[in-house]
Amino acid sequence: MAARGLLKPVNREMLLVGASGEELLAKMEGYVAPVVRKWIELEEV
């Protein structure tokens, strides 16, 4: 989806994937959300 422009790379990096529930929970515990802009300016449209 990121390659097609439907998902920004920074949002793709927020996706957590694990082979087991334990691995996924460990990733969730250590997760720190990135700081991103939420709004765009009119000039960027």
Taking only the tens of pLDDT, the chain with its 45 residues reads: 667 778 888 888 889 999 999 999 999 999 998 888 778 888 877
- The model carries a pTM of 0.60
Distance CA 18, CA 5 (A): 25
What is the per-residue pLDDT for 1?
65
Element (H, E) at 35: none
What is the per-residue pLDDT for 31?
94
Q: Are 28 and 16 in contact (CB under 8 A)?
A: yes
What is the per-residue pLDDT for 2?
67
Question: Any long-range contacts for 37-42 (C-beta under 8 Å, 24+ apart)?
Answer: none
C-alpha to C-alpha distances, 45 to 12, 26, 37, 40, 41, nearest whole angstrom: 22, 39, 15, 8, 7
